[in-house]
Amino acid sequence: MSGNMIHSGLEGVYIEKSSICKVDGEKGKLYYRGYCIEDLAEKSTYEEVCYLILYNKLPKKKELEEFSEKLKRERTLSKEVLEIIKNMAAKAHVLDTLRTAMSAISADDPEPYSADESVNIEKAIRIIAKTATISAAIGRTKKGKEIIQPDNSLDHSENFLYMLTGNKPDREKTKLIDVMFILHAEHSSNASTFGALVACSTLADIYSAVVAGEATLKGPLHGGADEAAVRMMESIGDPANTEKYIDEALAGKKKIMGFGHRVYKAYDPRAKILKRYLDEIDGNDEEDINKLVRIALTAEKIMIERLGKSHGIWPNVDFFAGPLYMHMGIKPEMFDTVFSSSRTVGWCAHVIEYWKDNKLFRPLEEYTGKTDLEYIPIEQRR
């Protein structure tokens, strides 16, 4: 038996010290730079949250205005990047297209790598702005529609929704998309952030680190979880079928997508915020969306009764995100790009922070194979 301690999935292993984000899984609390997520979702904006995460302080009015103008100046994509999107988007997964386009953006930067923090913050602003435009362009291309150019009269997340759907959102949807971006902006050392850190630890440039984050985000256990949850709701079909579906799934030991979390042992605070928005639109949308909302709210109640208090399995942010995205006109296949567009600021902030005291990631593995095997020439092998 091995004497080595194996931490599968690096569970319980601390990889760095960070002042960016605190996730208190036992109490169900989330903080960005010391500010609780409830206050930021209610009182702040995504642009202000980006500033907070990058600069470690809330901006003054003039600072926020200057930051917003920088984002607007960086929204436009080159013809070369647009061609990549047009060539790939119709047949490739959205994140495959996004990471390829992000790689192309680095070609327009004469010095992709820099050790200067202020220079990397400027690169982060460029990446945040262009990621939203890329994501919206992917959505338009997948639907066979013309790509919509940025509208600089609109704020960042509002402009993203406009470029994606072709409709300037009303006040309710403008606030909702902004809240969705805020809630997905950062979440400590999750899989995609860790992927970005591994890439940057080699002193690869910040674009490469973001591409690594986007690639890691792709799986259904991470960025694809909200799409998987809404697909489950669609398969339930009718709110009246919800309890039967859950009971059969639990009896068969099948996972209920959108419930449980590696860190949270209490109700995910982001899910609590989104549930309030679901409550507000309940019964006030198209029939298909109304059904999804009712299924989500019914499933939440049943799952809390079955597994919440007894097993510590609560709804996470992915469970409620899907119906709300669809309420805003965002199709399930585009959920990953919304997540990525939101989380880019977190990846960039962690990369910039890690480079202050960089150390190459080089974990060990326990070898379980054979050794000292005899090499047999190919003519003698049977």
The answer to whether position 190 is within a domain reads: yes
For residue 258, give the nearest of 304, 320, 310 by alpha carbon.
320
Judgement on whether residues 62 and 112 belong to the same structural domain of the protein: yes
DSSP state of 308: I
The dihedrals phi and psi of 15, each to the nearest 5 degrees, come to: -105, -15
Domain membership of residue 244 as a residue range: 225-327
Of 156, 184, 187, 261, which one is the catalytic site residue?
261
The pLDDT of residue 147 is: 97
Of 93, 109, 222, 282, which one is the catalytic site residue?
222
The pLDDT of residue 283 is: 84
**Which residue, 327, 345, 365, sits at the end of a domain?**
327
Give helix 156-165 / helix 46-55 axis angle, nearest 10°. Answer: 130
> How many angstroms separate the CA atoms of 106 and 104, rounded?
5
Per the structure, the count of domains in the chain is 2
The pLDDT of residue 221 is: 79
The answer to whether position 365 is within a domain reads: no
Judgement on whether residues 214 and 83 belong to the same structural domain of the protein: yes
Judgement on whether residues 255 and 292 belong to the same structural domain of the protein: yes
The pLDDT of residue 346 is: 98
222 is catalytic: yes
The answer to whether position 14 is within a domain reads: no
Per-residue tens of pLDDT for the chain, all 382 residues: 456 888 888 888 898 999 999 999 999 999 999 999 999 999 999 999 999 999 999 999 999 999 999 999 999 999 999 999 999 999 999 999 999 999 999 999 999 999 999 999 999 999 999 999 999 999 999 999 999 999 999 999 999 999 999 999 999 999 999 999 999 999 999 999 999 999 999 999 999 999 999 999 998 878 888 898 999 999 999 999 999 999 999 999 888 888 988 888 899 999 999 999 999 998 888 889 999 999 999 999 999 998 887 888 899 998 999 999 999 999 999 999 999 999 999 999 999 999 999 999 999 999 999 999 999 999 999 8
**Which residue, 327, 342, 372, sits at the end of a domain?**
327
Judgement on whether residues 108 and 168 belong to the same structural domain of the protein: yes
**Which residue, 327, 347, 368, sits at the end of a domain?**
327
Judgement on whether residues 300 and 338 belong to the same structural domain of the protein: no
261 is catalytic: yes
The edge-to-edge listing of strands for the beta sheet with 29-32 is 21-24, 29-32, 35-36
Judgement on whether residues 141 and 288 belong to the same structural domain of the protein: no
* Dihedral sign computed on CA atoms, order 154, 156, 158, 163: positive
The pLDDT of residue 253 is: 87
Judgement on whether residues 186 and 176 belong to the same structural domain of the protein: yes
CATH number of domain containing 34: 1.10.580.10
The answer to whether position 144 is within a domain reads: yes
The answer to whether position 55 is within a domain reads: yes
Judgement on whether residues 178 and 312 belong to the same structural domain of the protein: no
The answer to whether position 362 is within a domain reads: no
Q: Name 303's Cβ contacts closer than 8 Å, sequence gap at least 6.
A: 246, 256, 259, 313, 314, 315
Judgement on whether residues 300 and 353 belong to the same structural domain of the protein: no
Q: Is there a contact between 363 and 193 (Cβ–Cβ < 8 Å)?
A: no
The dihedrals phi and psi of 258, each to the nearest 5 degrees, come to: 95, 5
Of 268, 318, 327, 350, which one is the catalytic site residue?
318
DSSP symbols for 117-179: HHHHHHHHHHHHHHHHHHHHHHHHHHTT-PPPPP-TTS-HHHHHHHHHHSS---HHHHHHHHH
The pLDDT of residue 1 is: 46
CATH number of domain containing 248: 1.10.230.10
Judgement on whether residues 217 and 232 belong to the same structural domain of the protein: no
The answer to whether position 77 is within a domain reads: yes
The pLDDT of residue 2 is: 58
The answer to whether position 369 is within a domain reads: no
Judgement on whether residues 320 and 340 belong to the same structural domain of the protein: no
For residue 163, give the nearest of 144, 138, 127, 181 by alpha carbon.
138
Judgement on whether residues 130 and 71 belong to the same structural domain of the protein: yes
